[in-house]
């Protein structure tokens, strides 16, 4: 029955994204062990926030299930992403 629910399918997609994020990080670990990193420190700081964003989306979907309004959920997650991105860039801004 859950496979017919929209909230569950979105939650499952976010879970798959979180799993692929773990694989992506493993590839970065392999590169870093070889002293090769094509990315800046800001990339890694933003990469560090990805699981937080995914987990917030998953938790909201698990708590509110069918009562969630998709437009508000999308705006909320988008605003959260923008806020975290702004904070990371602001902290790393040159003084």
Residue-wise pLDDT tens digits, 9-66? 999 999 999 999 999 999 989 988 998 888 888 888 889 999 999 999 999 888 988 8
pLDDT at 77 over 80: yes
Residue 2: pLDDT band with limits 50, 70, 90: low
Q: In this structure, are residues 57 and 14 in contact, taking their beta carbons and an 8 Å threshold?
A: yes
What SS3 class is residue 16?
helix
**Mean pLDDT of the region 53-80:** 90
C-alpha span between 40 and 63 (Å, rounded): 36
pLDDT at 95 over 60: no
Q: Give the pLDDT score at 44.
A: 87
Output b/e per residue, 33-65; b: 16+ Cβ within 10 A: eeeeeeeeeeeeebeeebeebbebbbebbeeee
């Amino acid at each position: 029955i859950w496979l017919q629910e929209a909230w569950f399918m979105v939650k499952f997609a976010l879970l798959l994204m979180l799993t692929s994020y773990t694989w992506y990080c493993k590839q970065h670990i392999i590169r870093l062990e070889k002293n090769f990193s094509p990315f800046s420190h800001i990339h890694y700081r933003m990469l560090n926030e990805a699981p937080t964003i995914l987990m917030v989306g998953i938790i909201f979907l698990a708590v509110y299930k069918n009562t969630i309004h998709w437009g508000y959920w999308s705006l909320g997650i988008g605003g959260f992403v923008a806020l975290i991105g702004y904070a990371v860039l602001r902290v790393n801004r040159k003084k």
